[in-house]
Amino acid sequence: MLNFIHIAKTGGTSFEQFLKDSNLKFKSYHLVKPDYPINEKDKYLILLRNPLKRFVSAFNYYFSLIDQDLNKIYSNNLSLDNCLSPYFTHKKLINNYYFSKDIDENIIFFQNANKLAESLSSDDLYLRNKAIEICNYSHFLGFGFYLDNGEFLKKYKDNIIWVGKLETINSDIDKLKNILNIKTDLSLKKLRENKNSFSNLLSEKAINNLIHFYNDDYKTLDVLYNLNFIDHETLESYKKY
């Protein structure tokens, strides 16, 4: 059985479409951890992205959804062509919120990824707790969550046949084609691209806060490196923005 660990905001939706277009059957783990225990015949694919850029992408994705003009969207024809997320847009139309009442309100409150990240160390306990709540929610959860702080990698390293990176996705997909013997000229096509020009700025304080907050992600990256799933250059670049 082929399995894809779909870490949020790593290009996973586009990658899943590539697998489907290649006529591959697979199970996707998105916003959930992989099942335990696994069969020795199970094979796993993992797609990574710079954690700091992934965080900014998650915030801008949420803000774009919450900020979108629903008057321009027809509820009976939701697709990736007319909205960033048919699922969450439908949820908004039914329940009057995209994620939860508190999360929706807090995303609007923070306005940008930098303010959210800087607030993780705020002296204002109320503000800091707001920030922590968001960063522990759904799409903001990172490698540490999906890969059990690296324990999944250690236990099932022989089942992991491919670890790709969004930054080098085209060459990594070529390697995957060889591994799975995929005879196709298909390449990855972006399906969920946020075209809004929200700020990508992160201050030094914001970056330091995120590296501290996502400590488990960086521990997991160390495991990926020690098991030779990523190289030293990738490990170091993922600590920079």
State the Cα–Cα distance between residues 25 and 3, nearest whole angstrom. 9
Task: Give the whole-number percent of the chain exceeding pLDDT 70.
Answer: 96
Q: Are 45 and 234 in contact (CB under 8 A)?
A: no
Q: Residue 185: its pLDDT value, please? A: 79
pLDDT tens figures, 19-73: 999 999 999 999 999 987 788 889 999 999 999 999 999 999 999 999 888 887 7
Split into its structural domains, the chain has a count of: 1
Give per-residue pLDDT as tens, 71-115. 877 666 788 877 888 889 989 988 999 999 999 999 999 999 999
Looking at the whole model, is its pTM more than 0.85? yes
Average pLDDT of the chain, as a whole number: 92
Which pLDDT tens digit goes with each residue over 149-206? 999 999 999 999 999 999 999 999 999 999 999 887 777 777 666 666 688 999 999 9
Burial bucket for residue 73 (CB in 10 Å: 0-12, 13-18, 19+) = middle
CA separation for the pair 118, 48 (Å, rounded): 24
Q: Are 202 and 113 in contact (CB under 8 A)?
A: yes
CA–CA gap between residue 202 and residue 143 (Å, rounded): 20
Average pLDDT, stretch 115-130? 98
Residue 24: CA count within 13 A, CB half-sphere: 24
The rounded distance, in Å, linking the Cα atoms of 15 and 30 is: 12
Which residues make Cβ contacts (< 8 Å) with residue 66, sequence separation at least 6? 98, 104, 107, 108
Range(s) of the domain holding residue 101? 2-237
